[in-house]
Amino acid sequence: MLAAAYASAAIGAVAVAVVAGRPGDDWPAPLTLAFFVALILWAKQGAVLLPSNIDVSPSFMVVMAAIAAFDGRGLVLGAAVVGCCSGLTLTTLRERRIAALVVNCSQYALSGIGAAATYGFAAEQEVPTIARVLATGIAFGALNVGLVLPATRVLSGTAWRRVWADMRPALANYLAFGLLGTFVGQLYSTLGPLAVLLLLAPVVIARQTFSSFLELSIAHEATIRVFLRAIEAKDTYTARHTQRVCRYSLLMGERLGFSHQRLEHLRQSALMHDIGKLAVPKHLLNKPGKLTDDEFERVQRHAHVCIDILGLVDFLKPMTAAAAGHHARFDGGGYGGTGERPLEAYIVAVADAFDAMTSTRSYRRALPMEVAFGELQNKSGSQFHPECVTALIDAITERGEHHGMGHEDDIVEFDVAPPSAGVGSAGLGDRVLAEAGA
């Protein structure tokens, strides 16, 4: 009901704006109008969702180009038609969300009319091109945001702040593409449609490359899932351990103010940090009690292999140190002799140690969370990075979570009950025990 009222109000507003916009305004040349309508429909359908920091917005560019091209004849009416068309998308049509469609089209039409009126006024005042484009872009953007915010609120109930946060990073790009669009629109009078193709060909090619990038990111994610599946088939403890390490690492990363992209990298690194365990025979992974010298040597060798495999993948390289156990010490000098190790390696090392202590292994029962915290704090600054230790303890305390003895999320049954002593703290528990025993 509310949506219908909003939609009819929007249509009314468009009608008033067209009449008031520019009395006596003519229709644009039919061929020019048809060209830009076709262009905007095409630009709209081929839209690819991009991360907001590089929003290649062909439809905004086309609207700006159309305004510049219509200057002189049919400015307001042309902008209204092209703006209206930029509200049409196949998905809204297919899903028959009529109210959303009407609101979208009217709000784009209104923004277009406002921008065109600004452009025309600035042209009459003989304002220089850059300032004119700036004013036009701001008019379009302000109307767009001002109309979209209430509409999104009514139709989907998204919070104001969220919508604004989504839009804000794209503003600089909008200015650049707005300028570009206007420039090309001005060229339309001399070069015709060729001018627009000059601009759109590179943007379309870049957009295609970007969608290949997104496809490959998905494939990469899938590859990591293959690894997780494989490790699950081999050893459920390691699979769950991996997921907990990933979670703790993300808690720390968020607390340390990592960007979205860096968190994504941290997540992938944490998920892959135990890849070498796939090469360790199953009976050694879960062997209760001490390993023989021969077995220990085998596990050592596999740990070595694990480090080398991680070293093959650039984004996992920082993890090689963590996989090397005692080489992951915070005060243990630089990584690979090439200066300081990135924070990610320390984060995963702390998460790994914390989970190793607070879960039951074949060779040792889980420790209480307080003991694990104490151990982390004891070795903070020597074995562990102090910032990461603080971040983890703060994050877990703040959330009121409980881990460790009595709070384990998976109770593993062993043939031989594991002893309840020792503070092992690395990925390969077998090695830690042997080291501790040595």
Per CB under 8 A, residues contacting another protein are 54, 56, 129-130, 176-177, 179-180, 183-184, 187, 190-191, 194-195, 197-199, 201-203, 205-210, 212-213, 216-227, 229-230, 233-234, 272, 275, 278-279, 281-283, 301-302, 304-305, 308-316
Q: Which is nearer to another protein, 168 or 229 (CB)?
A: 229
**Residue 214: CB minimum distance to another protein, A:** 9
Which run of H or E residues covers position 216? Answer: helix 193-234
Return all residues near 407 (Cβ < 8 A) that are at least 6 apart: 358, 369
Q: Which is nearer to another protein, 92 or 173 (CB)?
A: 173
| CA dihedral sign of residues 34, 37, 40, 41 | negative
Distance from C-alpha of 63 to C-alpha of 83, rounded to nearest angstrom: 7
Q: Which is nearer to another protein, 336 or 381 (CB)?
A: 336
Q: Which is nearer to another protein, 104 or 136 (CB)?
A: 136
Residue that is written with structure tokens 């830009």 in the block: 36
**Residue 206: CB minimum distance to another protein, A:** 4
Distance from C-alpha of 8 to C-alpha of 228, rounded to nearest angstrom: 53
Q: Which is nearer to another protein, 342 or 386 (CB)?
A: 342
Residue that is written with structure tokens 């740990």 in the block: 303
**Residue 358: CB minimum distance to another protein, A:** 28
**Residue 119: CB minimum distance to another protein, A:** 17
Which residues on adjacent β-strands are paired with residue 404? Answer: 368
**Residue 165: CB minimum distance to another protein, A:** 22
Distance from C-alpha of 406 to C-alpha of 128, rounded to nearest angstrom: 72
**Residue 366: CB minimum distance to another protein, A:** 27
Contact at 8 Å (CB) between 138 and 109? no
Distance from C-alpha of 303 to C-alpha of 320, rounded to nearest angstrom: 10
Residue 359, both tokens: 């879960």
Distance from C-alpha of 324 to C-alpha of 336, rounded to nearest angstrom: 12
Contact at 8 Å (CB) between 63 and 140? yes
**Residue 241: CB minimum distance to another protein, A:** 18
Q: CA 240 → CA 188, 230, 272, distances in Å?
A: 61, 13, 13
**Residue 248: CB minimum distance to another protein, A:** 22
**Number of Cβ within a 10 Å radius of residue 11:** 14
Distance from C-alpha of 159 to C-alpha of 147, rounded to nearest angstrom: 15
**Residue 182: CB minimum distance to another protein, A:** 9
Q: Which of 278, 158, 289, 283 is nearest to 230 (CA)?
A: 278
Half-sphere exposure of 399 (CA within 13 A, CB side): 12
Q: Which is nearer to another protein, 90 or 176 (CB)?
A: 176
Q: Which is nearer to another protein, 8 or 208 (CB)?
A: 208
Q: Which is nearer to another protein, 282 or 326 (CB)?
A: 282
Q: Which is nearer to another protein, 221 or 254 (CB)?
A: 221
